[in-house]
């Protein structure tokens, strides 16, 4: 049995022959993604507040040493875990009168320690930008108060309180549409070549020679009645 191979010309011919199908599937994916992104998915906003771990107020008069900076950077990791502790989150829920558990609240916030700095960023994502802002600031305030009780230190300061976000971070319609276009094109091309691979019907003289390995002695032309 002869091995079937496709050269570049045959590949282009197959794509050209089924170009309408590729375009159709791609358009369906793009339109579906656009409708879902613009009209179905809820907009999600993110509000962030930043805090800085510094020297205690009693030590502000002394010069900042390199060891102090290293110590503060190590404290940042500890403080980032305290922000997400039940002790802090329970007080936030109580103060704001939230109808949610500490686990739910923990899943809606993100605490990051900026690499090689003394900065902590607390981010909250929610459908309501005003609530996200209020929650981010409340978590920061409660956390700063609890640090004094837990660590017996007063070394956390506000850098930037959270402000009401204007633009949502999710969904990203244009990005989603672009991804849908690429996926639609890949899927349609895959289907075209899959159908072509399993299609064993004879359609031309070249198919007889390529698939059966037999020479063509003659052909009967088609006549219009």
| Domain range annotation of the chain | 8-40+171-212, 45-160
Cα separations (Å) of 121 from 143, 160, 209, 215? 12, 10, 69, 75
pLDDT of res. 160: 92
Pairwise CA distance, residues 24 & 30, whole Å: 10
Burial 92-125 (b: 16+ CB within 10 A, else e): bbeebebeeebeebbeebebebeeeebbbbbbbb
- pLDDT 10s digits, 45-99: 999 999 988 765 455 444 555 566 677 677 888 888 899 999 999 999 999 999 9
Cα separations (Å) of 209 from 2, 13, 104, 160, 212? 10, 18, 67, 75, 6
Give the number of other CB atoms < 10 A from CB of residue 225. Answer: 2
Pairwise CA distance, residues 170 & 128, whole Å: 12
Average pLDDT over residues 216-224: 59
pLDDT of res. 209: 59
Average pLDDT over residues 111-139: 90
Average pLDDT over residues 194-220: 65
Strands (E), the chain: 45-53, 109-113, 119-126, 156-160
CATH among 3.30.70.1130, 1.10.1760.20, 3.40.50.10130, 3.40.50.1010 for 45-160: 3.30.70.1130
Does residue 221 surpass a pLDDT of 70?
Answer: no
Terminal CA-CA length for the chain: 39
Does residue 118 surpass a pLDDT of 60?
Answer: yes
Extract the tokens encoding 60: 């502000």
Place of tokens 């899943």: 107
pLDDT of res. 69: 64
Q: Give the range among 25-29, 67-71, 138-142, 146-150 with minimum mean pLDDT.
A: 67-71
pTM over 0.85: no
Give the number of other CB atoms < 10 A from CB of residue 58. Answer: 10
Residues 173, 174, 176, 179, Cα dihedral to 10°? 170
For 160, the 3-state DSSP assignment is strand
pLDDT of res. 11: 84
Pairwise CA distance, residues 214 & 218, whole Å: 12
pLDDT of res. 219: 61
């Amino acid at each position: 049995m002869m091995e079937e191979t496709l050269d570049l010309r045959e590949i282009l011919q197959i794509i050209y022959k089924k170009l309408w199908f590729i375009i159709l599937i791609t358009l369906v994916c793009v339109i579906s993604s656009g409708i879902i992104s613009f009209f179905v998915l809820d907009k999600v906003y993110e509000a962030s507040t930043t805090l800085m771990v510094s020297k205690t107020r009693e030590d502000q008069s002394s010069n900042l040493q390199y060891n102090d900076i290293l110590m503060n950077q190590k404290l940042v990791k500890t403080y980032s875990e305290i922000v997400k502790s039940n002790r802090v989150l329970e007080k936030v829920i109580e103060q704001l009168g939230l109808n949610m558990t500490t686990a739910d609240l923990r899943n809606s916030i993100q605490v990051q320690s900026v690499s090689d700095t003394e900065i902590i960023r607390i981010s909250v994502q929610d459908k309501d930008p005003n609530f996200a802002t209020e929650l981010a600031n409340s978590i920061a305030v409660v956390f700063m108060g609890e640090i004094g009780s837990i660590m017996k230190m007063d070394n956390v300061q506000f850098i930037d309180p959270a402000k009401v976000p204007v633009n949502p971070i999710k969904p990203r319609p244009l990005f989603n549409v672009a991804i849908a276009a690429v996926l639609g094109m890949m899927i349609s091309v895959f289907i075209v070549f899959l159908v072509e691979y399993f299609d064993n019907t004879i359609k031309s003289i070249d198919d007889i020679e390529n698939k059966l390995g037999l020479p063509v002695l003659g052909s009967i032309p088609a006549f219009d009645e």
